[in-house]
Structure formats: structure tokens, C-alpha cells
């Protein structure tokens, strides 16, 4: 049975999808130095560009596909499709805001450090989630607390 190829989604941040190689730190280099900051700024800007292109595609798609179908079922189907696209774009709008905050944190030399405890978030975690603001331990605690509050 042939394997199914996954489609690209706008929020896909794997470095390969963005065309960026993983950072290879040198043994003696300091955490979040100029090279690392530039690497993450490149990732964030590429991601931002990808999301903005998706917004443009959605606008064009909605303009091109907008029809007043005489059949109520066809019209409802199109409205549902547009609704799903708009919800996706709204999540991406919020993500763009986080990306902007991360780019600003790089400019302020605050990027890559946990907002809660101040330790290094880590290069691999940041490559996986460039907008991360908490180290893995603080994020885990945060999720546990949230889980108990929502019970």
C-alpha cells in the first residue's frame, strides 16, 4: 500500500518545510549569541512570510470562489468552507502576533530564556516551537495547573 503524503499547512514550522538547516552549535559558544539569534530571526521571518502568503491565498480563493448558489445545500457547503478558512486565518493572525513578539524579544536580547524561571529554553525546543516562551519544565507545570483548573 503506498504511503500517503501529508499536505503542507501554513503553520508547519519544521525547518525543512521552511528551507532552513538546523543550527549546529560549536562546543564553546555562548547560548543565544549573534549567530543563534540570527538563525531564529531567519526562522521566524520565514514562518511569518509563509503565513502571510497563506492569507493572500485565502483572500484570493474567497474572491474567486464566492458564488451565490441557487441550491441552499451548495450555498451552505461553501459558507462552511469559508468559515473554516476564516477560523484558521484567525488562529494564524494570533500566531503572527506571537511571531512578532518573538522577533522583538530577539531585538531586546530576551529571546530564548524562560519567562518564568529565566533558564535557557534550548535550541532544539526553539527550533521545534520558535515562539516558545517557557522552558519545558515550566510549560509542563503550566499545563498541569491548567488541567486541574479546568476540571
Q: Tell me, what CATH number does 68's domain have? A: 1.20.120.910
Q: How many domains does the chain have?
A: 1
Per-residue pLDDT, averaged over 41-59, amounts to: 90
How many CA atoms lie less than 13 Å away from 9 in the CB half-sphere?
A: 9
pTM: 0.78
10 or 73, which is more confident? 73
Q: Quick one: what percent of the chain has pLDDT higher than 70?
A: 91
Query: Residue 70 is part of which domain span?
Result: 31-149
- Model confidence at 13, pLDDT cuts 50, 70, 90, reads low
Q: Which residues sit opposite 113 in a β-bridge?
A: 120
Whether 10 maps to a domain, the answer reads: no
Whether 13 maps to a domain, the answer reads: no
Whether 85 maps to a domain, the answer reads: yes
Whether 87 maps to a domain, the answer reads: yes
The count of other CB atoms within 10 Å of the CB of residue 6 is 7
Whether 98 maps to a domain, the answer reads: yes
Whether 2 maps to a domain, the answer reads: no
Whether 80 maps to a domain, the answer reads: yes
State how far the Cα of 146 lies from the Cα of 139, in Å rounded to an integer.
Answer: 10
Whether 107 maps to a domain, the answer reads: yes
Amino acid at each position: 500500500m503506498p504511503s500517503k503524503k501529508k499536505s503542507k499547512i501554513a503553520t508547519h514550522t519544521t525547518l525543512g518545510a521552511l528551507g532552513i538547516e538546523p543550527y549546529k552549535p560549536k562546543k564553546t559558544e555562548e547560548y543565544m549569541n549573534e549567530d543563534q539569534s540570527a538563525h531564529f530571526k531567519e526562522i521566524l521571518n520565514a514562518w511569518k512570510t509563509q503565513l502571510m502568503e497563506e492569507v493572500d491565498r485565502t483572500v484570493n480563493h474567497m474572491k474567486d470562489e464566492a458564488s451565490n448558489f441557487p441550491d441552499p445545500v451548495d450555498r451552505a457547503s461553501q459558507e462552511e468552507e469559508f468559515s473554516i478558512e476564516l477560523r484558521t486565518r484567525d488562529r494564524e493572525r494570533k500566531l503572527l502576533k506571537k511571531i512578532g513578539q518573538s522577533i522583538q524579544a530577539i531585538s531586546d536580547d530576551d529571546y530564548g530564556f524562560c519567562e518564568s524561571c529565566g533558564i535557557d529554553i534550548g535550541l532544539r525546543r526553539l527550533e521545534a516551537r520558535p515562539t516558545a516562551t517557557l522552558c519545558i519544565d515550566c510549560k509542563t507545570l503550566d499545563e498541569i495547573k491548567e488541567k486541574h483548573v479546568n476540571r
